[in-house]
Amino acid sequence: MQSLRKRAWIGGSLSAIAAVAIGSLLLYSYLDRKTLEQFDRSLIERHTQIVVALSNFADDPERLDELILDPAYDRAASGRYWQIVGPRGEISTSPSLFDATLPAQGGGTRLKLYDADGVDAEPLRIAHQLITLEDGTEWSVAVAESLVGLVADRAEARSSLLLAFALVAAIGLTGTLLQTAVILRPLEKLRHDVARRWEQDEILNSTDYPEEVAPLVSDINTLLQRNREIVGRSRRQAADLAHALKTPSTILRNELELLATKSQDLQKAVDALDRLDAQLARSLARIRLSNTAEIGFSRTDVSSTVTRFARLFDKMAEKDGKHVAVSCEPDLFIRIDPQDFEEILGNVLDNALKWSRRSIALSAGRRSGGVDLVIEDDGKGIKGQDRAEAVKSGSRLDSSKPGSGLGLAIATDLLKAYGGSLELGDSQTLGGLAVRIHLPTGTFSTA
């Protein structure tokens, strides 16, 4: 799991839930113990009352009711009971026991508290002790109370605790989410600022971030600056190499054309020079392509570039009696290096100009999360089974016209680097080839 936000959420949530669960168990255990202690104290006090009453009426235990004023002892099955066993085994009980007796668990001179089942399996808490009176007689005194009330009190306390701690858990989880959002806000800001820096070439200010993030900001500034310098230097070297090779190549081609006018067969030399030009063009394109990812956040005005190229190619087309029709929406922008976009568009338009008969149509507009450009012509087009071959490196389906066969291949490679695509199809309006180019407006891919 690579997401810091998810790690913080899960870690904080587990900590909050664990803390609430442990706190609930400890508090419930504490309250449960305190409730039982209070219950036992009340039971011991009633046991003491019975002992005091017995010391006054030991000769007549039936008169104990005169000193015991709790009405619960007079109601049958009220849940409160007392029982006295005399030295000769005679048993006196509270009216609440009716004809039943309390279960005995042996005797002892120390007060003993224990649980037992009474009549009809009623759970009871019993306080029992052997008492020796002043006259030397020994009596067994037991006081009992039903545990039904205690169980109900515990259940009510448990429900209240669960509700309270559920609320505490919800507050804790909400606090975790808010705390995570606050802690990660500087990182979110850094991510957006880095993206904006690519577009606007701004230096990140380390004082805008917490001291824990500031060193990272400085390192990012240094890294981005070095990357720009390396990329710029590589592209300049590629441009210089292209310029250096273009001049001797042009001279050789001119010399070959001059010799051809003297009726010499130079077709093999021309083909070799074409292959050389093709390989040089392909290699230079790869050099530029390898650096495309580093500058992929450059902002290009598609509308302006399309208008300018259409005007340029229309003038070229007029020389051959052809025409370029343009339809372009305003304010179209994409994230691509302007030079790369010009090379893509130029290669496709050059191909259309070369193979069209009289008409070329260029349209550009917003489509499905990006920008679509469609270049159509009224030429003979490309058959469906040949379209995959047409975009391969150096592939020429027809050698009747000059060229290296690299135009569509270079355009396709550049488009893939920016997450775009190039599709070949049939033109529904002009009847020739239709080249559809799609480039996302905000998504960048290094594929």
List the chain domain ranges.
4-152, 203-294, 296-447
CA triple 362-364-368, angle to 5 deg: 140
**Do the two domains 4-152 and 296-447 of this chain adopt the same fold?**
no
Contact 349, 307 (CB under 8 A): no
Question: What global pTM score does this model have?
Answer: 0.46
Encode pLDDT of 27-66 as tens digits.
Answer: 888 888 888 888 889 999 988 888 888 888 777 777 777 6
- Cα 96 to chain centroid distance, Å, stands at 67
Which among 372, 353, 356, 355 has a CA at the least distance from the CA of 364?
Answer: 372
What is the Cα–Cα distance from 439 to 231, expressed in whole angstroms? 22
Provide the pairing of β-strand 359-367 with 323-328: parallel
Note every long-range contact of 168-177, with CB atoms under 8 Å and residues 24 or more positions apart, other chains counting: 168/20, 168/23, 169/16, 169/17, 169/20, 172/16, 172/17, 172/19, 172/20, 173/12, 173/13, 173/16, 173/17, 175/16, 176/8, 176/9, 176/12, 176/13, 176/15, 176/16, 177/9, 177/12
Terminal Cα-to-Cα distance of the chain (whole angstroms):
24
What is the predicted pLDDT for the residue at 120?
A: 77
Which among 354, 356, 344, 435 has a CA at the least distance from the CA of 399?
Answer: 354
Residue 304 token pair: 């302006």
CATH of the domain spanning 4-152:
3.30.450
Residue stretches of the chain with pLDDT short of 70: 1-2, 66, 105-107, 196-202, 235, 237-249, 251-253, 255-260, 262-298, 392-406, 442-447
Task: Write down the residue that tokens 């580093």 correspond to.
Answer: 294
Task: Write down the residue that tokens 């017995």 correspond to.
Answer: 54
What is the predicted pLDDT for the residue at 372?
A: 92
Residue 388 token pair: 């995959």
What is the predicted pLDDT for the residue at 447?
A: 33
In single-letter form, the type of residue at position 400 comes to S
Contact 287, 234 (CB under 8 A): yes
Burial bucket for residue 86 (CB in 10 Å: 0-12, 13-18, 19+): middle
What is the predicted pLDDT for the residue at 270?
A: 64
CA triple 392-395-401, angle to 5 deg: 135
Encode pLDDT of 301-328 as tens digits.
Answer: 899 999 999 899 988 989 889 999 999 9
What is the Cα–Cα distance from 382 to 391, expressed in whole angstroms? 11
Which among 93, 95, 92, 97 has a CA at the least distance from the CA of 146?
Answer: 97
Sheet containing 359-367, strands listed edge to edge, beginning at the edge strand earlier in sequence: 323-328, 359-367, 370-377, 433-440, 421-426
Contact 105, 41 (CB under 8 A): no
What is the Cα–Cα distance from 287 to 290, expressed in whole angstroms? 5
Tell whether domain 296-447 is in CATH 3.60.40.10: no
In the Cβ-directed half-sphere of 182, how many Cα atoms lie within 13 Å? Answer: 6
